[in-house]
Amino acid sequence: MCAVKPFGIWITDDVIWICHMQLVMLDFSLKIISTEIIFNN
């Protein structure tokens, strides 16, 4: 979803940065979830 070129206009660095931060947060929360699962087992 991040690497899009909507309406033929390249997305700005701000959009890329926001998207990157969302991916980082998603990766971070997935690590937390997997860690909790490991500890629960």
Between 12 and 40, the higher pLDDT residue: 40
Residue 15 forms part of a structural domain = yes
Which residues constitute the domain of residue 28? Answer: 6-40
Q: How many domains does the chain have?
A: 1
Sign of CA dihedral 1, 27, 25, 34: positive
Residue 25 forms part of a structural domain = yes
Across 24-31, average pLDDT: 84
Kindly indicate the confidence band of residue 4, based on its pLDDT and cuts at 50, 70 and 90: low
Kindly indicate the confidence band of residue 11, based on its pLDDT and cuts at 50, 70 and 90: low
Q: Look at residues 41, 4, 38, 9 and name the one whose alpha carbon lies nearest to residue 30.
A: 38
d(CA 38, CA 4): 36
Residue 12 forms part of a structural domain = yes
